[in-house]
Amino acid sequence: MSVTSGKAGLSLTQEILSYLGLANKTAAWGTLGTLRTFLSFSVEKDVQRLLRAIAGQGVDRNAIMDVLTNRSREQRQVISRAFRERTKQDLLTSLQAAVSGNLERLVVALLKPAAHFDAQELRTALKDSGSAEDVAVEILATRAPPQLQECLAVYKHDFQVEAEEDIKSETSGTVQDLLLALAKGGRESYSEVIDYHLAEEDVQALKQAEGPGTEGTWVLILTQRNPEHLLRVFEQYQRRTGHELEQTVQNRFHGDAQMALLSLASVIRNTPLYFAEKLHQALQEAEPNYHVLMRILISRSETDLLSIRAEFRRKFGKSLYSALQDAVKGDCRLALLALCRAEDL
C-alpha cells in the first residue's frame, strides 16, 4: 500500500526547517554551510595579497588563511588560475614552500578541487590506514551522487586504477561488499510516496538475517534503499523487536564490519549528528586528530556545517567553536575556527 509521505524521523535541524518549508530542498540545504560565496570577491586583490604574504621578510600566515577561509572552493580555484597566469607559478606549490606542518596540510586541502581532495582521502584510507572502512564510508555514503561520480572518476585518472579494484584488494568480507555497493551509487532516489509493504518486507528480512551467509541482506537494504525509507524501516524494526537496529548490528557483526555498518546507520539516521560525533571524537584524543578535523570542516563548510554545529551543541552541551578553541593549538587554529565561523550560544 502506498500513500503520500508525511513528516517522520526528522533530525533536529530538519524539524526546524520543515516549518519553514525548506527541509527537503537541496538549494536551501546548501545555505546551511558556514562558508558562502564572497560577494565582494576581487581575484586581483586576492592574488596581490597572497603574493605579499609570501614575498616579504616573513610569511604572513594570517593573511593566507584569511583569504582561503573566506572564499568558496570555486573562488579559490579562480584565485589559483589567476595566480598562475600572473606569476607563471603554481599557487599551491608556492604556499607549500612558505608554510609547513598542519598549516601546509590545511592549505593543500583548501586549494584542491573537492573531487581531488576526496579521491586522495579515499586512496590514503584504503592504502595507508588501518581503518579504511571509517573514511571510506564517510566519503562514499555522504557525498551527493554527482560528487561521488566525479570523485571516482578523478580516482581512476590520478591513480590509474578504479576505486573498486582497490576496495577489492584492500578489504574483504562484509566491509568489501558494503564499500563496493556504496561505490556503485545504486541507492534509490527519494520518493514522496511511502511504500509500507516494502518497509515491512525489509524489516522482516533484517529480522531473519541472523545466521551465517545472510550478511548480504544487510548490505543490500542499507546501501540500496533511500534514507527516508530506511528511517521508516528503523522505526518499524524497533517496534517489532523492542530494540534499535544498531543493537542487532552490535550483536550480529564484529570488528570492521560492525564499525562500517554502525557508521552507515548513523549517516542514514542523521548525517549532521554523524559528523558532530566524529568531530567530538577527534577533539577528545590526547592530541587532536587534525586530519579528521580538517577533512570534515572543509568538506562540510559549504554544505551543512551549521547543522553539524547545532547537533554538536545539542549532543555534547558545548559549542563546536568552543571545543575547537579549547583543544586546537598551533598555526591552523585560527583557520579551523574561521571555517567553523561562530559561537553557538
pLDDT score, position 57? 81
3-state DSSP helix/strand/coil percent for the chain, to nearest 5?
70, 0, 30
Residues 68 and 79: their CA atoms lie apart, in Å, by 9
More confident residue, 24 or 97: 97
Q: Using 50, 70 and 90 to split pLDDT, how confident is the model at 2?
A: very low
More confident residue, 10 or 5: 10
Written as one letter, the residue type at 63 is A
Domain assignment present for 130: yes
Q: How many domains, the chain?
A: 1
* Residue 328 in grid coordinates: 586546537
Q: What residues does 2 pair with on adjacent strands?
A: 195
Domain assignment present for 88: no
Give the helix/strand (H/E) hosting 67: helix 61-68
Residues 168 and 180: their CA atoms lie apart, in Å, by 8
Q: What is the pLDDT of residues 152-196, one digit of tens each?
A: 999 999 999 999 999 999 999 999 999 999 999 888 887 778 899
Domain assignment present for 158: yes
> Phi-psi bin for 114: left (phi > 0), alpha (psi -120 to 50), beta?
alpha
Domain assignment present for 85: no
Domain assignment present for 237: no
Q: Specify whether the CB–CB gap between 76 and 117 falls below 8 A.
A: no
Residues 287 and 102: their CA atoms lie apart, in Å, by 13
pLDDT score, position 153? 98
Q: How many other CB atoms are there within 10 angstroms of residue 36's CB atom?
A: 14
**What is the domain extent for residue 164?**
114-184
Phi, psi of 292 (to 5 degrees): -65, -45
Whole-angstrom distance between the N-terminal and C-terminal Cα of the chain?
45
Q: Specify whether the CB–CB gap between 27 and 303 falls below 8 A.
A: no
**Is the pLDDT assigned to residue 19 strictly greater than 80?**
no
Q: 16-25, 101-110, 123-132, 261-270 — which is least confidently predicted?
A: 16-25
Q: How far is CA 6 from the centre of its chain?
A: 27
Residues 306 and 116: their CA atoms lie apart, in Å, by 24
Residues 170 and 148: their CA atoms lie apart, in Å, by 20
* Residue 339 in grid coordinates: 571555517
CA distances 281 to 46, 293, 297, 345, Å, are 35, 10, 14, 22
> What does the mean pLDDT of the chain come to?
90
pLDDT score, position 20? 40
Nearest alpha-carbon partner for 163 in 152, 174, 171, 154: 152
Domain assignment present for 107: no
* Residue 200 in grid coordinates: 515491512
Nearest alpha-carbon partner for 340 in 330, 331, 328: 328
Q: Which CATH number do you get for residue 176?
A: 1.10.220.10
Q: What is the pLDDT of residues 48-63, one digit of tens each?
A: 999 999 997 889 999 9
Residues ≥6 apart with Cβ < 8 Å to 241? 207, 248
Q: Angle CA(182)–CA(276)–CA(179) in degrees, nearest 5?
A: 15
* Residue 270 in grid coordinates: 542523521
Q: Specify whether the CB–CB gap between 123 and 249 falls below 8 A.
A: no
Mean pLDDT across 128-133: 75
More confident residue, 157 or 21: 157
Domain assignment present for 11: no
Q: Specify whether the CB–CB gap between 276 and 320 falls below 8 A.
A: yes
Domain assignment present for 172: yes
Provide, rounded to the nearest whole percent, the portion of the chain with pLDDT above 70. 90
